[in-house]
Structure 1
Amino acid sequence: MIHTTHNVLLKFYDSFSKLDAKRMAECYHPDATFTDPAFGKLNYDEVCAMWKMLIERSKGNLSVEFFDLKSSKKNGTAKWVATYNFSKTDRKVVNEIYAKFKFQDGLIIKHTDSFSLWKWSGMALGLKGYLLGWTPFMRNKIREQAKDSLNKFLAK
């Protein structure tokens, strides 16, 4: 049986692949939270702004592929790959992500993306990221910069 939550995941990733942050936001519950290795924990307004910011900064140079969507009434998972040039270094990143979802009222209430921050930092930052990306210092620096850029975007 395909749950309506499956259609929510399809809409979310289809909208993402079309770089449509507005339609992505429609998939989140107003009390939603999002967590990932780069941005940490975000609330509804922050996660909606994060997708908008990432899409705008990609300047059309972002491709999103999604597959293996699974869902029940309360939970879901997906695998997706984002390919883009990291805006600060213009280095190509191919980030493989595993997503977990919890649903409430037919919308995403909790979204957790998991990926290797060390692998990401090697692709995005080059040798420095490859050599230091696994260290707590570098991980904290990446999170700090991600949150800072999001806060500046939100302030606009």
Structure 2
Amino acid sequence: MSAELINRFYEAFSRRDGAAMAQCYHEKAVFSDPVFGELRGPRIGAMWQMLCERASSDFRIEFSDIASDGVTGQAKWQAWYSFAKTGRPIHNRISASFRFEDGLIVEHRDRFSLWRWAGMALGISGRLLGWTPSVQKKIGDEARSGLELYIKRKRIKV
């Protein structure tokens, strides 16, 4: 059952259906990744909706290695897109882990190299400085600020 939920989640992402992705999460869910840090509850769905709405025309994902024991799960996925701020091409490789409760995702952790991502997104400055805590913090701060602005504009209750 949980492997089906993971599959449904990524199929929705492939269609850029952030609302369907949000429905896969438990109300007390926790999400984390190197860019947004830790998000809880409705902010998770808002993040996916924002990312889906803002996805570049060349956006696509592939997912594989989905496995679940019913309590936990995992998947690998890749995303290709143009970074909006610079127009630079991104190919991000992500490992995801999940925990489930009541048939929904209650914990979701995405892991990838933020340094590698910064190099693709920001070019030479990202390759040279993307490993530094100050640059990584700035990337996260900008992402979270953008999410909070999106939440306000869309009047999402969080």
Equivalent-residue separation in structure 1 for 2:56 and 2:137 (angstroms): 27
2:150 is the alignment partner of 1:153: yes
The Cα of 1:60 is off from its aligned counterpart by 3.4
Gaps of 5+ in 1: none
What letter corresponds to residue 145 of structure 1 in structure 2? E
Q: Secondary structure of 1:95's match?
A: strand
Q: Secondary structure of 1:103's match?
A: strand
2:47 is the alignment partner of 1:50: yes
8 Å Cα contact 2:96/2:110 also seen in 1: yes
2:117 is the alignment partner of 1:120: yes
What letter corresponds to residue 67 of structure 1 in structure 2? S
Percent identity between matched residues is 46
C-alpha RMSD over aligned residues: 0.8
User: TM-score with structure 2 length normalisation?
Assistant: 0.94
The Cα of 1:35 is off from its aligned counterpart by 0.2
- What pairs up with 1:61-140 in 2 under 5 angstroms? 61-140=58-137
- Aligned partner (choices 30, 33, 55) of residue 33 of structure 1: 30
Q: Secondary structure of 2:85's match?
A: coil
The Cα of 1:102 is off from its aligned counterpart by 0.3
What letter corresponds to residue 29 of structure 1 in structure 2? H
Gaps of 5+ in 2: 154-158
User: TM-score with structure 1 length normalisation?
Assistant: 0.96
8 Å Cα contact 1:91/1:123 also seen in 2: yes
The Cα of 1:18 is off from its aligned counterpart by 1.1
- The total of aligned residue pairs comes to 153
